[in-house]
Amino acid sequence: MYDVVIVGGGPAGLSAALMLGRCRRAVLLCDTGHPRNEASHALHGYLTRDGMNPHEFLASGRRELRQYETVTVRDVAVVAAECGADSRFEVTLAGGESVHARKLLVATGVRDEVPPLEGIEDLYGRSIFHCPYCDGWEVRDAPLAIYGRGERGLGLSLELTVWSRDLVLCTDGEAEIDAEGCARLQRNGINLREDRIARLEGRDGILERIVFAGGETLPRRALFFTTGQYQQSPLAIRLGCDFNDKGTVRTGKYETTHLKGLFVAGDASRAVQWVIVAAAEGAEAAFAINTDLIKEDLLS
Ligand SMILES: Cc1cc2nc3c(=O)[nH]c(=O)nc-3n(C[C@H](O)[C@H](O)[C@H](O)COP(=O)(O)OP(=O)(O)OC[C@H]3O[C@@H](n4cnc5c(N)ncnc54)[C@H](O)[C@@H]3O)c2cc1C
């Protein structure tokens, strides 16, 4: 019986494992090694780690865990989890092995719906992004494109005016933005193009131009998209968690959920989706988990 099984070894899961390991809790952390930002080359906005390679960030987190014999890290997928009547969890690993835990922390993150555009794979994470806070500074004042429709496309375009004033919203078909929204774009100097996109062209990971179906080209240095996201793992859905309209789990104080003993932290839960926030949420969940375990174990 582990005190805690943590599913996911991104910033949220690693941070929780560190805290819980230091609380002398028997922790099993299972990870499949595909963090949301795996295509990225530099992590931004994390105090003391700004610009660090995201893979090095995670590797360094794992290295720190090695000194805690209380924490076991395994490169394995969790394929199922169930909560019994005694509020203990049975967790099934890929391959069929079962482990048991008093508490379960799901920190499995989300994935982004990357636009289905020819040429995007070579550019994603280098000059194609979704988060201006993460990657806007590096392309400040550059000619930028936004990819997205409706309220989302409009919202991201207006937000990006902080980083550049040379903005073109490309909706790759009907914009689905009402007259007031279009007027707002115009008032803020943002061009709108509804032409279908044929492909993206660039070199060495850097976007150079958008090629439209009609053959016309639009020189751009980077593109920010807003096309939605989904849970990387179905675990939280299967455990009956409550979701908001963004597709993330509604959690309470300290990342608690509807189920006693189940916690969800990081991008998979509500709130701002940044590495520093995910790490903080993991630490908060660890605090709550340890506090619950103390209460359960101490004689009154
Ligand atoms: C291109 C890009 C660039 C970004 N740049 C920045 C940036 O500069 N700064 C910033 O703050 N944020 C950035 N982000 C956001 C950042 O990636 C997330 O906020 C952060 O990774 C969330 O951490 P997490 O621990 O919640 O989830 P993740 O980092 O996604 O980690 C989840 C982990 O769980 C594992 N997992 C999933 N399912 C299972 C399972 N069933 N069993 C076992 N393991 C499982 C995954 O393999 C993964 O390792 C960027 C995102 C993208 C897409």
Tell me the domains of the chain and their CATH numbers: 2-111+228-297 (3.50.50.60), 115-225 (3.50.50.60)
Determine if ligand 1 sits within 6 Å of the CB of residue 81.
Answer: no
| Predicted pLDDT at 200 | 98
**Pocket perturbation via mutation, ligand 1, pick of 31, 36, 223, 239 by most ligand atoms within 8 A of CB:** 36
From 131, 238, 248, 284, the mutation candidate for ligand 1 (largest count of ligand atoms within 8 A of CB) is: 131
Query: What's the chain look like in SS3?
Result: CEEEEEECCCHHHHHHHHHHHHCCCCEEEECCCCCCCCCCCCECCCCCCCCECHHHHHHHHHHHHCCCCCEEEECCCEEEEEECCCCCEEEEECCCCEEEEEEEEECCCEEECCCCCCCCCCCECCCEECCHHHHCHHHCCCCEEEECCHHHHHHHHHHHHHCCCCEEEECCCCCCCCHHHHHHHHHCCCEEECCCEEEEEEECCEEEEEEECCCCEEECCEEEECCCEEECCCHHHHCCCCECCCCCECCCHHHECCCCCEEECHHHECCCCCHHHHHHHHHHHHHHHHHHHHHHHCCC
Summarised one tens digit per residue, pLDDT across range 70-89 is: 999 999 999 999 999 999 99
- Confirm or reject: Cβ of 267 under 6 Å from ligand 1: yes
| Cβ of residue 148 lying under 6 Å from some atom of ligand 1 | no
Any atom of ligand 1 within 6 Å of the Cβ of 274: yes
Q: Tell me the whole-structure pTM to 2 decimals.
A: 0.97
Confidence label for 13 from pLDDT (cuts 50, 70 and 90): very high
Is the CB–ligand 1 distance for residue 281 below 6 Å?
no
Is the CB–ligand 1 distance for residue 202 below 6 Å?
A: no
255 lines ligand 1 (CB under 6 A): no
- Give tens-digit pLDDT for 156-180: 999 999 999 999 999 999 999 999 9
Determine the atom of ligand 1 nearest the C-alpha atom of 36.
30
| Residue 214: pLDDT over 90 | yes
Decide: 134 in ligand 1 pocket, CB within 6 A.
Answer: yes
Mean pLDDT in the chain? Answer: 97
**Ligand 1 atom 52: the closest Cα is on which residue?**
37
